[in-house]
Amino acid sequence: MSRNDFRQARRVVVKIGSSLLTDGGRGLNVIAIAEWVAQMAVLKQQNIDVVLVSSGSVAEGMARLKLKARPKTLHELQAAASVGQMGLVRRFEDEFQLHDLLAAQVLLTHDDLSDRQRYLNARSTLLTLLDFGVVPVINENDAVATEEIRFGDNDTLGALVANLVQADLLIILTDQTGLFDANPSLNPDAKLISEISVNEKLLDEVAGGSISGLGRGGMSTKVRAARLAARSGAATVIVSGKIDNVITRVFTGEQLGSYLVPNLEPLVARKQWLAGQLQLKGSVTLDDGAVKIVQKAGKSLLAVGVKSVQGHFKRGDLVSCLDTSGVEIARGLINYGAEDAGKITGKPSSEFEALLGYADDAELIHRDNLVLI
């Protein structure tokens, strides 16, 4: 897909970062919000579905509570998010109404998307809102989320939403021009990467942390987001939200920001869900033969090919599959709890009943519940 193909997109996810939304932490940037909403309204006039993923509730709450630094304790973060969410949603609703558009607030936690049934329910709700012509405004539910169920950043949330609604394009608006081949604050010769494959190893080398300190994401989370979005075929552009008419200009194919080309093989819906899950409950280490079978042959993981088990997990939990060097090669939903998995490690399924007193699935992880990383 080239940039010129963007104008053919029928569904777009726009993610806006905290430092942009809150004018560097000084309260909501109402002028900028009005401009972004106006640009999204232009897309809606062209019968393009728009989903907005908004950061900024904590930062806006900090401004309202007159906090000079981002809170460090979970309950203080949740309190700030609760206060800030009020202003954030009201501002978006008012701006969309000026363009005769309805907006809907949707708050998600990772827990909502880690359960398959709740994932499908969230998908149905979002698609129904889009059918009604509504613009969903999505944020992480910071007011109730705990560290164990946080997405960690709204870049990742944006990518998961792109997977959820089968978006064609993910536009990540940030306070940076785009992705550079070196840190531009340290290297004056750093060059903007205009276009690069999501598979390119250079991305892992150049992606850094958050510069503003207001959000939880840096360029590394945006790279991860682009790779997640690519799992459903969505293209990703990382671009400065300060550029005039940036959303509509990106949509028409203008060479702005960094385009991360989604040349990964798209996954079927269930495996998109598996790839997007972040909460690993444990891991299993595979021998070389099992790694080859899983990676090359696309087969199920059998206990006979497992060398060791790590973590405390139960049947149906998400676990990571590691090679002997500790590199993750896949992840999947395991058919046995940690204790039982440890007992059958390295054993054929014919011995399961003697070892466990029962025999359920012959596979440790079935190929339908296994996704390569």
CATH number at residue 354: 2.30.130.10
Based on the fold, state whether residues 339 and 213 are members of the same structural domain. Answer: no
Residue 213: pLDDT over 60: no
Radius of gyration of the chain from its Cα atoms, rounded to whole angstroms? 22
Is residue 166 located within the same domain as residue 313? no
Q: Are residues 188 and 327 both part of a single domain? A: no
Q: Same structural domain for residues 59 and 175?
A: yes
Q: Which of 272, 294, 313 is the last residue of a domain?
A: 272
**Which tokens hold the place of 160?**
């998961």
Token readout for 9 is: 């997109």
Q: Evaluate if residue 216 carries a pLDDT over 80.
A: no
Query: What is the per-residue pLDDT across 335-345, written as a single tens digit (0 to 9) for each?
Result: 999 999 999 99
Range of the domain at 362: 280-372
Angle at 111 between CA 273 and CA 152, to 5 degrees: 85
CB atoms within 10 A of CB 336: 23
What confidence category does residue 14 fall into, taking pLDDT thresholds of 50, 70 and 90? very high
Of 243, 272, 301, the residue that ends a domain is 272
Confidence band (pLDDT; 50, 70, 90) for 148? Answer: very low
Are 237 and 339 contained in the same domain? Answer: no
DSSP state of 175: S
Domain count for the chain, please give it: 2
pLDDT of 208: 53
CATH number of the domain residue 85 falls in: 3.40.1160.10
Q: Mean pLDDT, to the nearest integer, of 353-364?
A: 91
Per-residue pLDDT, 278: 63
For the beta carbon of residue 85, count every other beta carbon within 10 angstroms. Answer: 22
Lowest mean pLDDT among 11-15, 81-85, 276-280: 276-280
Q: Are residues 284 and 268 in the same domain?
A: no
pLDDT in tens, 77-95: 888 888 988 889 999 999 9
Pairwise pLDDT comparison (147 vs 90), residue with the higher score: 90
Helix (H) or strand (E) holding 32: helix 30-45
Q: Do 120 and 18 share a structural domain?
A: yes
Query: Which two tokens mark 204?
Result: 């892992």
Mean pLDDT computed over 131-141: 92
Q: What angle do CA 249, 257, 170 make, to 5 degrees?
A: 70
Same domain, 164 and 182: yes
Give the percent of the chain with pLDDT over 70: 90
Q: To the nearest 5 percent, what fractions of the chain are helix, strand and coil?
A: 40, 20, 40
pLDDT at 211: 43
**Mean pLDDT over residues 48-71, rounded?**
88
The DSSP H or E segment spanning 138 is strand 135-140
Q: Does residue 218 register a pLDDT over 80?
A: no
Q: Please tell me whether residues 237 and 331 are part of one structural domain.
A: no
Together in a domain, 245 and 367? no
pLDDT bin (cut points 50, 70, 90) of residue 217 is: very low
Report the pLDDT averaged over residues 164-188: 88
Q: What is the pLDDT of residue 297?
A: 86
Q: Please indicate, yes or no, whether residues 263 and 240 belong to a single structural domain of this protein.
A: yes
**Which residues on neighbouring strands pair with residue 195, listed in sequence order?**
259
Opening angle at CA 62, ends 56 and 64, nearest 5 = 100
Tokens standing for 90? 């009201």
pLDDT score recorded for residue 57 = 83
Residues 314 and 174 in one domain: no
Q: Let me know: does 259 contact 191? Beta carbons within 8 Å.
A: no
pLDDT at residue 259, rounded to an integer: 95
The listed range with the strongest mean pLDDT (86-90, 127-131, 358-362) is 127-131
User: For the residues 109-138, what does the mean pLDDT come to?
Assistant: 87
Q: What are phi and psi of 238, to 5 degrees?
A: -100, 120
> What's the mean pLDDT in 131-139?
95
Q: For residue 281, how many C-alpha atoms fall within 13 Å in the half-sphere facing its CB?
A: 15
- Which of 240, 272, 304 is at the close of a domain? 272
